[in-house]
Chain A
């Protein structure tokens, strides 16, 4: 699909990977509905900034309705909204020195934003193209392209990332069934699995862990830049044979547990 003159929706658009993706799409000639929890700031007339919680069905329905009313039926969806939400499954209570389980909401929030939120945008995006032309069988042009953000944590999550890792593994695993299901609408579905990138999420990681993460990257030995993620998004949008798979972009890193991993007592 060509980016020029396309209509795109980007979630998590206010910062990091989402923000860089909006810039790439706008520079390529697209009009973009930029969705984030708080309405992203943009003075660019080609950007329609919308505030919505990706895990909220009604709020996202309203956001897609506005995007469609103001820009037209979106043909590109890039899901970047996500949270790290580190949470070990139990902690040692300081008063009693006994293990207590982590509250369920800590896991639910990560799963709801990263996995359910991604699906929420996908279902509304697909609905737009289904309503636009219900029978697209035999159509050889791309009618839609979806790029979701998984993570290398889908494959090698670290301790404390049970929720994050499983939410991203869910994003990775729904790539193929979504591609198979949406093929009849002429929609391709891909996922990118970034390694360590310079985003707000990355600066939330403790400094010593960040040093280990970058030291482990074979080449280039640094965190990725959001514009490199956006470059990958562009490559996937523009290549019609890209469908149903997950592409790692990580400088060949495979995440390993830091050797100086602190004890459960110290980090609970």
Chain B
């Protein structure tokens, strides 16, 4: 833990992004998956501050309850890999708040593992689980949000904006990150075809590709994996990213209508070597 500053990953310093205006966001519904912690919680708080009606989705019922109360959002406990469960969640959103306008996909897991360890192949379920949560879960939220965006489009406005979370591992996956890198590569890869598919309906699709950030996902890794992840230092600034910096970029993406179909790296210039 010597590289970590525990005090920094608690309440995000939103004063730094306060006052960032996002035209047309006031009163609109913004849904954040993985919204109970980390990048999702920071994005949710930033969206709330920018005037949106915010919905948090998270599989952890207690955490989503607490996090939604903390910022005055609607919290729904749902697993991103659950098809009918997600449809139900979006029905609830439409009934309680109105149609979805912004979707920020932050739900994700990092579970490092070797493809073959001591002569034993990785259980297929380990690989499938990571790909299902990170990639399929992203698509699950998107398919439920898109019809609401299309139906709720207001004349002269965009129908909606989708911001996904890829990762630096999509481009420079390290040893032991095969499943995580493949899942995030999939997230990066869906951005352009989806932007092309949904453009005619007035929906933008983007992704942020964070480097090493201090979030529960990285802080709660096993000790060895955590040390490996945080040993990688960007050229500048030589520190891990903070969730509010991700949230700030998410708001800047929302506010800029020409940003579409692009994966933006947010990593301080870090390029991961094979091993750290």
Contacts and interface: CB of A to CB of B under 8 A. Distances in A.
A238 B252 CA distance: 10
B261 A241 contact: no
Nearest to B17: A238
Nearest to B264: A247
A217 B195 CA distance: 10
A178 B193 CA distance: 32
Given A176-B271, A228-B256, A249 B249 contact: no
Interface in A151-188: 176, 179-180, 182-184, 186-188
A92 interface: no
Given A187-B236, A245-B269, A239 B245 contact: yes
A240 B259 CA distance: 20
Contacts of A240: 237, 245, 268
A253 B199 CA distance: 10
Given A219-B199, A252-B196, A243 B259 contact: no
B237 A251 contact: no
A86 interface: no
B216 interface: no
A122 B207 CA distance: 29
Nearest to A182: B236
Contacts of A85: none
A228 B259 CA distance: 9
Contacts of B260: 218-220, 250-252
Contacts of A225: 258
Contacts of A250: 258, 260-262
Contact of B268 (A182, A187, A241): A241
B234 interface: yes
Contact of A241 (B202, B245, B252): B245
B174 interface: no
B72 interface: no
B116 to A, nearest CB: 33
Interface string A221-243: 10011001101101100111111
A225 B160 CA distance: 20
Interface residues of A, number: 43
A231 B269 contact: no
Contacts of A262: none
Given A140-B237, A140-B238, A241-B245, A228 B266 contact: no
A148 B260 CA distance: 20
A248 interface: yes
B9 interface: no
Nearest to B209: A245
A38 B217 CA distance: 53
A241 B195 contact: no
Contact of B235 (A244, A247, A251): A244
A254 interface: yes
A89 B58 CA distance: 57
Interface string B217-254: 00000000000000000111111010001001100100
Max chain B CB contacts within 10 Å: which of A229, A243, A249?
Answer: A243
Contacts of A217: 199
A224 B258 contact: yes
A239 B249 contact: yes
B258 A220 contact: yes
A241 B266 contact: yes
Max chain A CB contacts within 10 Å: which of B203, B210, B239, B256?
Answer: B256
Contacts of A249: 256, 258-259, 262
B125 interface: no
A184 B255 CA distance: 32
Contacts of B268: 240-244
Interface string A45-88: 00000000000000000000000000000000000000000000
Given A220-B257, A244-B234, A250-B262, 8 more contacts: A176-B269, A218-B199, A220-B158, A235-B248, A241-B267, A244-B265, A244-B267, A254-B192
Top 3 A-B residue pairs of the complex, sorted by shortest distance between their CB atoms: A252-B261, A244-B269, A218-B199
12 contacts: A176-B271, A180-B269, A183-B269, A219-B200, A234-B252, A241-B241, A241-B245, A243-B234, A244-B234, A244-B265, A250-B262, A251-B261
